[in-house]
Amino acid sequence: MVMNPYRLRKRLFAFILAASAGLCVLDSSAWAETRKFSMTIEDTVVTLVDKQTFRTFSFNGQTPGPLLHVTEGDDLEVAVENQTTLPHTIHWHGMLQRGTWKMDGVPDATQPAIAPGETFTYRFKAEPSGTMWYHCHVNVNEHVAMRGMWGPLIVDPKTPPAIEKEVTKDYIMMFSSWVSSWSQKPGQGGIPGDEADYFTLNGKAFPDTQPLRIKQGDVVRIRLIGAGDELHSIHIHGHLLEVYAKDGRPLPNPIMVDTILLGPGERYDLILRADNPGIWMVHDHIDRHTVNGKSPMGGIMTTIEYEEIPVKDQAFYSWKNKNFVPDFFYEESLKKPLGMHESAAFKGVPAP
């Protein structure tokens, strides 16, 4: 039967109309992507500062671990291969795991720990959005507090708040503490009476940290993540910071601060409007956290350098000849397409 051309046009028109109406009512989650990643847990040696090495169980051989950067609603599949001789898991800190509680990564509560040589695949939806992180949940007072088993998980919101659209530079800072007497004894430590004597910002202590390089007019987002066991009091000089999100969630009433207390597990997203060219100190105001072992002038310290101020001309500036390593705050990785990004700056070496 040959269809009357008029009826054909009418049907085509009705089809287009129905299809576009359908598209309009579809939830945007219909575009959620499945993102597949593979991670290994490796016996690694990292250097915190100078000659202070530490045996770790690092994700992909780096501490902090690789950046996982996804969008809210994405379905994640992360295959984790344990190449060490001890059991581990991954807990996805901040993820709601609605309907997927067995993916929460708590040994003997949601799964058996991943045995040496085994692979376990975590499958869950990235929900909610925000600055999240991941860490081992086996013997956390050793594996997380001292063996470098943590990394950032950034979940972009589907509908970003206005302030996020202004951001020109994005940085991640993960804070941790270490007990050097256990440094070469993997599988031991993390016991009552331990006293941390090394303190790191993205796995390095001053002077082996890196400056943040910005310019006037930048809208800088700094994502603070408390990955260790200690409270930190982070002071950024020369600016007021807008605290606009806590634990990944935007605050209804952001506050302005120059110092912020960050506890273990907590995250704060800060906005710094770069309006004051100079070289500015960033440090932990708990002074005990600015030592390296028995020496002062270490630990959690860095600077903000404005490009308007040529650092080489500042004769007094102790970092005037510093070899700058980009991506120390994941600032380059965060600009890349969504996915998993390793960072050469954080790589250790395989343990002997």
User: For the chain, what is the radius of gyration of the CA atoms?
Assistant: 23
Q: Does 91 bind Cu ion (CB under 5 A)?
A: no
- 82 close to 117: Cβ distance less than 8 angstroms: yes
Q: Using CB atoms within 10 A of its CB, is residue 28 exposed (0-12), middle (13-18) or buried (19+)? A: exposed
Query: Smallest distance from the beta carbon of 138 to Cu ion, in angstroms?
Result: 4
User: Under rule CB under 5 A, how many of the chain's residues touch Cu ion?
Assistant: 4
Q: Does 136 bind Cu ion (CB under 5 A)?
A: yes
Q: Does 143 bind Cu ion (CB under 5 A)?
A: yes
Q: Does 241 bind Cu ion (CB under 5 A)?
A: no
Of 107 and 238, which CB lies nearer to Cu ion in the complex structure? 107
Of 71 and 84, which CB lies nearer to Cu ion in the complex structure? 84
The rounded distance, in Å, linking the Cα atoms of 236 and 348 is 29
The H or E element containing residue 5 is helix 5-25
Given the rule CB under 5 A, which of 86-94, 156-164, 328-336, 339-347 is the region that contacts Cu ion? Answer: 86-94
Q: Does 88 bind Cu ion (CB under 5 A)?
A: yes
Query: Smallest distance from the beta carbon of 136 to Cu ion, in angstroms?
Result: 3
| Residue 302: C-alpha distances to residues 122, 178, 282 (Å) | 36, 18, 5
Of 87 and 211, which CB lies nearer to Cu ion in the complex structure? 87
Of 86 and 225, which CB lies nearer to Cu ion in the complex structure? 86
Residues 6+ apart with CB under 8 A from 332: 326
Of 143 and 283, which CB lies nearer to Cu ion in the complex structure? 143
| Residue 308: C-alpha distances to residues 168, 214, 217, 247 (Å) | 17, 9, 11, 33
Q: Does 144 bind Cu ion (CB under 5 A)?
A: no
The residues binding Cu ion (CB under 5 A) are: 88, 136, 138, 143
